[in-house]
Amino acid sequence: MSHHHNEHDDHDHETPIKTPKQLIIVVLAAFVVPIIAIVLLVQYVAHNEKTGAGSDAMTEQAIAERIKPVANPVIKDPNAAVVLKSGEEVFKTTCTGCHSAGLMGAPKVGDKAAWGPRIGQGLDTLFKHALDGYKQMPAQKGAFEDAEIRSAIVYMANQSGGSLKEPAAK
């Protein structure tokens, strides 16, 4: 009966590895297989083309679009006749971005409560603020002729309950 018990113990402790050669193969495979998997993963990631979803991010046109200057400077002939834009034209091309939506603390055109105290400061103060910049508003000096900036201020103020006089043309 004890003999039968020993056979049972041997059967419970059997492993799939029966020879030293099999043991060496399993140990080597345990190290080599993960290393190969890691190397292949690194190769896949490193050599895969990376672009945004549905984009042509590396085309010449896309690159040029990303690196182009934000501003579009206009070079004018100093000898050319000066044709001044109206206050409304200046407003529509430059001021409307902030003053129509009230962005960055700008008073919305037509908002009498917001413009009232500003109009009370007078055209010269408003002109100085527009020319040199005020709080978050960028300076407009050089972007337009002084008369155009004054006309735009008069236009916005008068649309907002003011009665400023259009500056005389020089």
* Rounded-to-integer distance, Cα 149 and Cα 140, Å: 8
Domain spans in the chain, listed from the N-terminal domain onward: 1-68, 87-159
CB within 8 Å of 55: residues ≥ 6 apart: 62
CATH code reported for the domain at 87-159:
1.10.760.10
Q: Residue with structure tokens 């400061």?
A: 121
Which pTM value belongs to this model? 0.51
pLDDT in tens, the chain (170 residues): 545 555 555 556 788 888 999 999 999 999 999 999 999 999 888 887 666 655 677 778 888 888 887 766 767 777 877 778 887 888 788 787 788 777 777 888 888 888 888 888 888 888 888 878 888 787 777 777 888 888 888 888 887 777 777 776 65
CB within 8 Å of 106: residues ≥ 6 apart: 98, 99, 136, 137
